[in-house]
A and B are shown apart, each in its own frame.
Chain A
Amino acid sequence: MSLITLAIVIRLYKIYLPPRVVFDEVHFGTFARDYYRGEFFMDVHPPLGKLTYYWVSVLFGWNGEFTFEEIGKQFDDNVPYVAMRMVSGVAGVLTVLFTYLTVRLNCRSSVAWFTAVLLMIENSQVTQSRLILLDTPLICAQSLAIYQFKKFSQTPVAFSGTWFRSLLITGISLGIAMSIKLTGLYTMGWVGILTIFQLWTILGDLNVSTRQWIMHFFSRVVCLIIVPTTIYLAAFYIHFVALPFNGSGSGSVSSHFRSTLNDTDFTDMPVEVHYGSTVTIKHLNVERYLHSHDHNYPTGSNEQQVTLYGYDYDDNNDWMIESQNKFNERLFQKGPVKDGDTIRLYHRSTGKYLHVNDVRPPLSEHEYANEVSCDGDRNLLGDINYEFTVRIVSKKPHSKNDLPLIKLRATESIFQLIHRGTKCVVMSHEAKLPKWGMGYNEVLCVDQPTIPNTLWYIESNSNPKFNETENDFAKIEFTPFTFWNKVWEYHKIMFKLNKSMTDDHVYASEPSTWPFVLRGVAYYGNESLEHLTDENGSVIYMLGNVAIYYAGSIFILISIIRYVFYLFWYLNPFIIPKESKEHSIFYTNIRDSILGWILNYFPAFAMSRKLFLHHYFPALYFAILIIGQYVDYQITRRKYFGFALLLAVLAGGLYCYVHFVPIIYGLEWTLQECNHSKWLPTWDINCMTFS
């Protein structure tokens, strides 16, 4: 009880400060707003965490007006941001409780207390648990899963009530964790590996009949796989129901998916693409629109850029399909575009034609790759460098017959554009142009390319001649798009999005620097904002608690070494190991924690995307558990040394916490104190704010 009180004080202290948007609240606030308005969006994270914030905000009477555009924007009175932050805060408090309970399972209560306090005062997690972010709820679910799984593993009687309850809660909390962030899967993996090990051990127990073993097996499958998956899918179900309208993300899904959104407009459009139609052309793989805008390439031909752009409803995505002749009104009488036809693409808003130059594109400087640009004007005469052959390759699954293979049909035909001048094929890929190209995807033309990135289809299609004849034409039609289709496509895009998050971020960091607190992340600073007269300088800088991070790293290292030696000794087939109970408990504990730490930490090295310090939290949680478990073992073996160790780590942790209180909570500080607190030159806290 005292622990909870303390946790509440520490984690929720002045949670209303600062009354402005901090760091990634920009994103999660915006998502809450999207839910409010029902506008479809794409994000790399599963929906549960974001939905929770939305529900809380609605519960506390938000009107959905406030836009979380940029860091430092002041909340208006209507935004229940304190309530939203409380979600994080309460999750943080609960985490402390779960930590205590977890450690209490096999350690003395003083150590459980100590471990919980370490987690409670860990600077970076305190910072995180005060803001509208996903990490603290994730850690909370993770810690509950760990607690319940450990409890489950220690339940003496199989198939008893407590046994089932713990197993089920483990599954539920795993489901919650992975529905908040996919990194919850690492904890799932942790549970999975330990479960396999458990099952293997039970298999060797001849007192357990084969039938019972199968029961063991299936109860685990149900609780640890089926239950979490159901929760996960349920979250997605709610997500799709909550977002019935087109929004920021609807450009990046396929037309078929879009057709399920209520206000999709292109379902009234003609399905046949005729000469003179104005269309949007979408890249099949990347799901973005062929785009051009009034900026030129700084390299190559220096002509107008052609890119892919993710947002629909932009005039710059509109292309008019013309024949190879100079434009005249007769074009509209020409009828449908067929497979093998030669066309020109007229970019309406800039009045230029799509064009391929035999110069190297900006990023892929291979001999066989050509740059795609826009050039010329309406009076352009015949020129094979502006002409493209339409080659229809296949059709989308919702097309009802083979017509789309013969004629170009919107949303149905999948085609390539082959440049007549150089015989190369127009394509695009994930590679993004630098700042001068607004970070849009590069479009290029490659001789003998691989197929998947050369495929396009037409989404919206309009033609004046169909408007004149009113409803007398075939419209775009779709077959139903099921929930499973949606989930599948959404995940493909999530992974693509995650992979493409490689833009340099000022505060991104390498996984190898995390355990050493080499750098923090500046969340907020009001220096550059328009100051209210009574507002003091305040900075929120998420920085790890040096003592706890280092203690964690050191104890992990020692534990790994000890465990390797122990395992080596234990596996000796010529000696039956004799070990004390404490020994056994200690090594089982650190085995579990080391495994958890490894599973949560090392995948980060394989990630190509940009990472931040808070991606270390799940691993850090296991590191803190190890501190507790190690200290407990030391107390058992050498009482005074153990307690001395406990006090030393606690004192160090407390000192680091107290010292950095101002930048955790965004409180007052002085310039001098701040400058003195930069213990490492790489800590780029913006101290000038305090001047």
Chain B
Amino acid sequence: MSDSFSSGASYKTGESQLTRRYQTDSSKDDTQVIAKDGDLEEIIARTSNLNINKTHHKKSVSTLFTKLINPFILTALSAFVRLYRIEVANKVVWDEAHFGKFGSHYLKHEFYFDVHPPLGKLLVGLSGYLAGYDGSFDFESSVDYPEDMNYVLMRIFNCVFGIVCTPLAYKTAVLLGYNQLTCWFISLSVIFEMLSLTLSKFILLDSILLFFTVFAYFALIHVHNLRTSDQLLTFQGIKWLSITGFAIGCVCSTKWVGLFMTALVGLYTILDLIIKFYQTISKQLPWKRYLLHWITRIFTLIVLPVTIYLAAFKVHFLVLSHAGEGDSAVSTLLQASHEGSDIKSGPRSVAYGSFVTLRSQGLSQNLLHSHPHNYPEGLQEQQVTTYAYKDENNVFLIEFDINAAISGKRALPETSGNNGTETETTIESQQLLQNGDAIRLFHNSTGRYMHANAIPAAVAKTHFEVSCFGTIDTTEIKDEWILEIQTQEESPSQFFANESGHELHPISTNFRLRNKELGCYLATTGYAYPSWGFSQGEVVCKYSYFNRDKSTWWNVEEHVNDKLPLPSETYVPPKPKFWREFVLLNFAMMTSNNALIPDPDRFDKLSSEWWEWPILKTGLRMCSWGADDIKFFLIGNPFVTWFSSLSLILFLFYLLSVGFKYQRQTVRYEVDSWESLLSQGILPFIGWFLHYFPFIIMGRVTYLHHYVPALYFAIFTMGFVVDRFATVVPKKISYVIYGLLYIAVIGSFWYLRVLAFGMEQSSKQYKHLKILDSWMI
């Protein structure tokens, strides 16, 4: 009971660690330890002089194989199956429509928005640049590539990431201490794993993601090996820690799935640091050294990846310097910094009678919006939302307060038409807004005033509802909002330096709007309305006593007023702040990611659910399925997938049996065997779990290719199970087993190869390939 921590027993005595090392096969051992003990060295030297030489000779040949020849053969094999017929479909396949397009945006420098971090798409952009592509093709799904476009090079560039996974997998297996047979088994499984194989033939992020994941795992195993020989604070150690950090930085900058890999590295590091802490307090490790361990971890595994992630975004912002389709969802300042943005053109001070659009500065920074649909609850008045696109319904008119309205002062000229009292329409649109003014916001296209009701809002029940109500002639106190200017951003240009701090300027003034009657502030909550509100952002009236609460801050984005003079020079907007834009962009990515929720009533033949992946229930048609189309069907290698899933269960049983034996003390678990169990079995299993489990609880729509990284770890678990099994059966039988496994892996690929290489004939010709009825070939 006291030793439920199974590494414990052997750590307790440093001695046993040493003796154990002497007992192990000398050919495997490092000479360092031996050098410490002269006697033993002598004995070994005397007794097995010839022997050592022999093994040494053998070793150098085998090293040549393991270091160069084997990886080369495997890479060549992998390259062949991945590059073969890569050019055959000369049209946009599957998500090339997204990622190719995003690559084009980089080449055209046009700003866009997407749920994934930028690194992978930057690389796609780079591949386009190398291929001499100018970004003019707009990657419509299933459209033929133009003649002059070198899409093959772009695909090959992407494919290289997929190919390189193979030697890395082989090297990882070697590092884990497997024998060659197992290493080959793992590598072959990685080569002929058909999900990643098929995906790497196209311009997608999946092979880039898998590559960084594979690379990070490779580096982690290096770190593990260095840790077991206590070399983490040497140059080598820091080098490999940094490489690990670099890799997880890259994988996170490609897709957020990388966070699962980061979690694996994180858990490993925490375990390591806890053990080292125990060593420290047991006086086996000096505090200074322990502290040093912490510092290296912080720098290599936290600071470095975060820097890479930030750098990817910095490059993203720098490259996308022109206005583009993503502009409507980002802050006014960022838009204004884009070349070709038209929001800078309006008059510099807002007056009564101005037409404005208002942008929130909260976490969901969209434009204030209203449309002719009512809330289904509460007073059932017209909805007020925030909207990520620019349209007519975002436009509000600044209207005078009620007192002015009663005395006949109106900002909107057309009002008089109906009642015929034209004298009432005194137009004083030259009057500028001042800080503290009471104004009314008139929604231009529906002709209603925006106001707050003292009833709970639709989603965030603790705040008040905001709605549009009434007609142009309504005079309700609830319609009045007090303008409270918070800050004025300064323009870098001298010409605009003297703008009044009490006036409302588009782009540069940040302000709040307080409801005169209720005293609450117009705010966003970051939640989205249900489908009746078209999933647009919620707007509420919020009691906020903290005036830096950004969810209550707004700014004017577009400003139109014919009566006011335009500035004589083009406005030079203030510079956007990188940190702010970075945080907001990431939040927006998160929100749109969470908004990708499937409708359970609607059948979606592309998406699949988590439980379908390990049993390979469904595949995915990657393109249109006509008789003349070259068709690709995304499906895993059945043998690899099924056997790896089975291995995961077998592994758990193995762990259980080891646990039982350990607890019954019928097996001695030494440091060495524990460490190899950890790195060969437990780490990949946890890796699989971390890459798989989140998809179970995730609400968003999931696809088959989400299983690719998890499958990579499942393959390593499979290797472990096979390896452990092969050690208990006689050698000859184990050769047979390995032979059969190789044949099964390659054979099942060969049988289904046409699914990945592209089917040219009508889909009916391939009916025999349906191993399961649920495959829609």
Judged by DSSP, the binding face of A is loop
Known: A203-B660, A365-B531. A427 touches B11 (CB 8 A): no
Chain A residues with Cβ under 8 A from B699's Cβ?
Answer: none
| CB-based contact A204/B5 at 8 Å | no
Contact of A450 among B3, B279, B603 (CB under 8 A): B603
Chain B, residues 274-285, CB within 8 Å of chain A (1/0): the string is 110011011010
Q: Is B736 an interface residue (CB 8 A)?
A: no
| CB-based contact A201/B601 at 8 Å | no
Q: Is A491 an interface residue (CB 8 A)?
A: no
Chain B residues with Cβ under 8 A from A568's Cβ?
Answer: 274
| CB-based contact A574/B279 at 8 Å | yes
Q: Is B7 an interface residue (CB 8 A)?
A: yes
| CB-based contact A573/B600 at 8 Å | no
| CB-based contact B602/A574 at 8 Å | no
Chain B residues with Cβ under 8 A from A434's Cβ?
Answer: 376-377
Chain B, residues 131-164, CB within 8 Å of chain A (1/0): the string is 0000000000000000000000000000000000
Q: Is A446 an interface residue (CB 8 A)?
A: yes
**In the complex the two chains form, what is the Cα distance from A571 to B4 in whole Å?**
8
Chain A residues with Cβ under 8 A from B281's Cβ?
Answer: 572, 574-575
Contacting residues of chain A (429-454) with chain B, CB-CB under 8 angstroms: 429, 434, 444, 446, 448-451, 453
**In the complex the two chains form, what is the Cα distance from A204 to B12 in whole Å?**
19
Q: Is B80 an interface residue (CB 8 A)?
A: no
Contact of B603 among A201, A210, A451, A577 (CB under 8 A): A451
Q: Is B49 an interface residue (CB 8 A)?
A: no
Q: Is B494 an interface residue (CB 8 A)?
A: no
Chain A residues with Cβ under 8 A from B728's Cβ?
Answer: none
**In the complex the two chains form, what is the Cα distance from A625 to B279 in whole Å?**
36
**In the complex the two chains form, what is the Cα distance from A573 to B9 in whole Å?**
7
Chain B residues with Cβ under 8 A from A448's Cβ?
Answer: 602-603
Contact of B278 among A203, A451, A574 (CB under 8 A): A574
Contact of B601 among A210, A369, A571 (CB under 8 A): A369
Q: Is B234 an interface residue (CB 8 A)?
A: no
**In the complex the two chains form, what is the Cα distance from A364 to B598 in whole Å?**
12
| CB-based contact A576/B2 at 8 Å | yes
Contact of B11 among A429, A446, A573, A576 (CB under 8 A): A573
**In the complex the two chains form, what is the Cα distance from A204 to B599 in whole Å?**
51
| CB-based contact B278/A204 at 8 Å | no
Q: Is A206 an interface residue (CB 8 A)?
A: yes
A-B pair count, CB < 8 Å, reads: 78
Chain A residues with Cβ under 8 A from B36's Cβ?
Answer: none
Known: A366-B602, A449-B601. A571 touches B665 (CB 8 A): no
Contacting residues of chain A (176-230) with chain B, CB-CB under 8 angstroms: 200-201, 203-204, 206, 210
**In the complex the two chains form, what is the Cα distance from A451 to B604 in whole Å?**
11
Q: Is A66 an interface residue (CB 8 A)?
A: no
| CB-based contact B665/A206 at 8 Å | yes
Q: Is A368 an interface residue (CB 8 A)?
A: yes
Chain B, residues 576-617, CB within 8 Å of chain A (1/0): the string is 000000000000000000000001111100000000000000
Q: Is A363 an interface residue (CB 8 A)?
A: yes
**In the complex the two chains form, what is the Cα distance from A575 to B279 in whole Å?**
10
Contacting residues of chain A (531-577) with chain B, CB-CB under 8 angstroms: 568, 571-577
Chain A, residues 647-683, CB within 8 Å of chain B (1/0): the string is 0000000000000000000000000000000000000
Known: A448-B603, A450-B600. A573 touches B3 (CB 8 A): yes
Chain B, residues 2-38, CB within 8 Å of chain A (1/0): the string is 1111011101100000000000000000000000000
Find the A residue at minimum CB distance from B380. A298
**In the complex the two chains form, what is the Cα distance from A453 to B284 in whole Å?**
64
Total interface residues in chain A, CB < 8 Å: 30
| CB-based contact A427/B284 at 8 Å | no
Chain B residues with Cβ under 8 A from A365's Cβ?
Answer: 531-532, 534
Q: Is B1 an interface residue (CB 8 A)?
A: yes
Known: A200-B663, A365-B531. A446 touches B282 (CB 8 A): no
Chain A residues with Cβ under 8 A from B663's Cβ?
Answer: 200, 203-204
Chain A residues with Cβ under 8 A from B731's Cβ?
Answer: none
Chain A residues with Cβ under 8 A from B284's Cβ?
Answer: 574
Known: A200-B663, A366-B531. A429 touches B600 (CB 8 A): yes
Find the A residue at minimum CB distance from B660. A203
| CB-based contact A575/B282 at 8 Å | yes
Contacting residues of chain B (276-334) with chain A, CB-CB under 8 angstroms: 278-279, 281-282, 284
Chain A residues with Cβ under 8 A from B660's Cβ?
Answer: 203
Find the B residue at minimum CB distance from A453. B601
| CB-based contact A573/B5 at 8 Å | yes
| CB-based contact A573/B12 at 8 Å | yes
Chain B residues with Cβ under 8 A from A210's Cβ?
Answer: 664
Q: A200-B1, A366-B602, A571-B5 are in contact. List 19 more A-B contacts (CB 8 A).
A: A204-B665, A206-B665, A365-B532, A369-B601, A369-B602, A448-B603, A449-B602, A450-B600, A571-B8, A571-B278, A573-B9, A573-B275, A574-B8, A574-B11, A574-B12, A574-B279, A574-B281, A575-B278, A575-B282
> Could you list which residues of chain A lie within 8 angstroms of chain B, going by C-beta atoms?
200-201, 203-204, 206, 210, 363-366, 368-369, 427, 429, 434, 444, 446, 448-451, 453, 568, 571-577
Identify 9 residue pairs between A and B in the complex whose beta-carbon atoms are under 8 Å apart, listed by A's number: A363-B532, A429-B601, A448-B603, A450-B600, A568-B274, A572-B282, A573-B3, A574-B8, A575-B278
List 7 tightest A-B contacts by C-beta distance, closest first: A573-B8, A574-B282, A365-B531, A203-B663, A204-B663, A572-B278, A201-B1
